[in-house]
């Protein structure tokens, strides 16, 4: 099956990035969010990113315009999903919201459509539990910024059909991604590793082992990571990382995922990282 039309549910950072790469791969894309304002913000994100790409000489003005022309803004899930060959849900990380959306998708999307979730931590099997389309539900976990990050992590739920995984993998390759396939275990592969390193780095700040700058430099210059774990925590959001760490500590019953007190304190004080202007670093400038 060739994927020609993609619906993306959620026009935040991840949804906008996913919509952009699908449109750049010549798909017609319907970008959904709950209000016209929210979708317009997503479309603007895409236009800004493509605009920067033009400035950097990575994208031509004609490619930018053609990509934007392939994206339609919608505020109705049914309108987005009808006629879609692939739906990628990138809504907030709330289990009940996702379960409801996938029930709607099972009714509104064509019977052949792949129904994917971009969740970074919630179990695919639970999202699909009791859903008539469970065999077509799969995790397609993208990374931020989606147009630049090469990884696509496919997460296979207990009822996901092999044909669904194969179609999702083929589409990931078409998007130019390196595709990995992972069982539906808590934190999959990427979040489990990323959170383990981040929680240890925060514990080291708490213990006064070194400054955030020096801990980050250890990973950047010693291990070749593009960004240290503390700066990355600021970029992703301290609140988001705290929620994932709490979930993993419980789901895997593993003390090394237990969030350090420092992280809880930062979140309680509104020091959420880049989005609030301050986290481990000062982002005001
Ligand atoms: N359009 C097209 N190309 C662009 C672009 C744009 N708008 N902006 C940048 N680029 C290109 C640049 O031209 C450059 O290309 P070359 O390598 O060919 O020169 C490349 O992208 C890198 O850009 P920069 O040099 O400007 O910036 P950088 O070196 O800082 O790299 C980055 C940017 C790739 C994002 C890098 O900072 C990075 O890897 N950061 C870590 C990101 C990360 O870890 N993400 C995962 C977060 S966790 C997650 O997402 C999972 C989850 O579930 C929450």
Q: Is residue 257 part of a domain?
A: yes
Judgement on whether residues 135 and 208 belong to the same structural domain of the protein: no
End-to-end CA separation in angstroms for the chain: 48
Q: Comparing 93 with 157, which gets the higher pLDDT?
A: 157
Give the pair of three-digit tokens for residue 265: 């304190």
* Residues 211-221: tens digit of each pLDDT: 999 999 999 99
Nearest CA to ligand 1 atom 49: 143
Residue 40 lies in a domain: yes
Report the DSSP beta bridge partners of residue 7: 30, 87
Handedness of CA 203, 206, 211, 213 (dihedral sign): positive
101 and 233 belong to one structural domain: no
Pairwise CA distance, residues 193 & 121, whole Å = 12
C-alpha span between 61 and 55 (Å, rounded): 9
The response to whether residue 148 sits with its C-beta less than 6 Å from ligand 1 reads yes
Q: What is the CATH number of the domain that holds 49?
A: 3.40.50.720
Name the band, by pLDDT with cuts 50, 70 and 90, for residue 121.
confident
Cα 134 to ligand 1 centroid, rounded to whole Å: 34
Task: Note down the domain range covering 213.
Answer: 190-276
Residue 29: in which H helix or E strand, if any?
A: strand 28-32
Kind and range of the H or E run holding 25: none
* Structure tokens that stand for 156 in this block: 């296979």
Are residues 37 and 144 part of one domain? yes
In this structure, the residue with its CA closest to atom 22 of ligand 1 is 148
User: Which atom of ligand 1 is least distant from the CA of 235?
Assistant: 47
53 lines ligand 1 (CB under 6 A): yes
CB count within 10 Å of CB 75 equals 16
In degrees and rounded to multiples of 5, residue 29 shows phi and psi of -120, 135
Give backbone dihedrals phi and psi of 244, rounded to 5 degrees, phi first.
-70, -40
Residue 1 has what pLDDT? 78
What one-character-per-residue DSSP string does 157-175 give? -TT--HHHHHHHHHHHHHT
Q: Supply the DSSP string of 190-201, one letter for each residue.
A: HHHHHHHHHHHH
Best residue for ligand 1 mutational test, from 61, 148, 196, 237 (most atoms within 8 Å of Cβ): 148
Radius of gyration of the chain (CA): 19
Last residue of a domain, one of 160, 183, 206: 183
pLDDT tens string 58-86: 999 999 999 999 999 999 999 999 999 99
Query: How confident is the model at residue 162, as a pLDDT?
Result: 98
| Confidence class for position 93, pLDDT limits 50, 70, 90 | confident
When the pLDDT of each residue in the chain is averaged and rounded to a whole number, the result is 97
Q: Are residues 230 and 150 in the same domain?
A: no
Residues above pLDDT 70, as percent of the chain = 100
- Ligand 1 neighbour 144 (Cβ under 6 A): yes
Q: Domain ends where: 151, 183, 215?
A: 183
pLDDT in tens, 232-262: 999 999 999 999 999 999 999 999 999 999 9
pLDDT digits (tens, 9 = 90+) for 172-197: 999 999 999 999 999 999 999 999 99
Q: Does the beta carbon of 13 lie inside 6 Å of ligand 1? A: no
User: How does residue 285 score in pLDDT terms, banded at 50, 70 and 90?
Assistant: confident
40 with 178, same domain: the answer is: yes
Q: Residues 61, 136: one domain?
A: yes
Domain count, the chain: 2
């Amino acid at each position: 099956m060739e994927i020609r039309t993609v619906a993306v549910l959620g026009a935040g950072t991840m949804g906008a990035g996913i919509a952009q790469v699908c449109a750049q791969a010549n798909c017609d894309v319907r970008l959904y969010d709950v209000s016209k304002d929210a979708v317009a913000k997503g479309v603007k994100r895409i236009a800004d990113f493509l605009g920067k790409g033009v400035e950097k000489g990575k994208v031509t003005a004609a490619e930018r315009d053609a990509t934007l022309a392939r994206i339609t803004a919608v505020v109705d899930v049914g309108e987005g999903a009808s006629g879609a060959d692939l739906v990628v849900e990138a809504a907030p990380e709330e289990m009940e919201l996702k379960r409801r959306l996938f029930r709607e998708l099972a009714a509104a999307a064509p019977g052949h459509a792949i129904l994917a979730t971009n969740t970074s931590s919630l179990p695919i099997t639970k999202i699909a539990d009791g859903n008539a389309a469970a065999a077509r539900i799969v995790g397609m976990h993208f990374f931020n910024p989606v147009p630049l990050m090469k990884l696509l992590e496919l997460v296979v739920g207990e009822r996901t059909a092999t044909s669904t995984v194969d179609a999702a993998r083929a589409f990931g390759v078409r998007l130019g991604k390196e595709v990995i396939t992972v069982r539906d275990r808590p934190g999959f592969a990427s979040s489990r590793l990323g959170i383990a390193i981040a929680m240890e780095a925060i514990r080291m700040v708490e213990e006064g082992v070194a400054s955030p700058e020096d801990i980050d430099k250890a990973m950047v210059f010693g291990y070749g990571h593009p960004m240290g774990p503390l700066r990355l925590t600021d970029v992703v959001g301290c609140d988001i990382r705290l929620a994932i760490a709490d979930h993993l500590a419980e789901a895997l019953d593993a003390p090394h995922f237990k969030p350090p007190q420092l992280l809880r304190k930062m979140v309680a004080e509104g020091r959420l990282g880049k989005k609030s202007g301050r986290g481990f670093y000062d982002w005001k400038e």
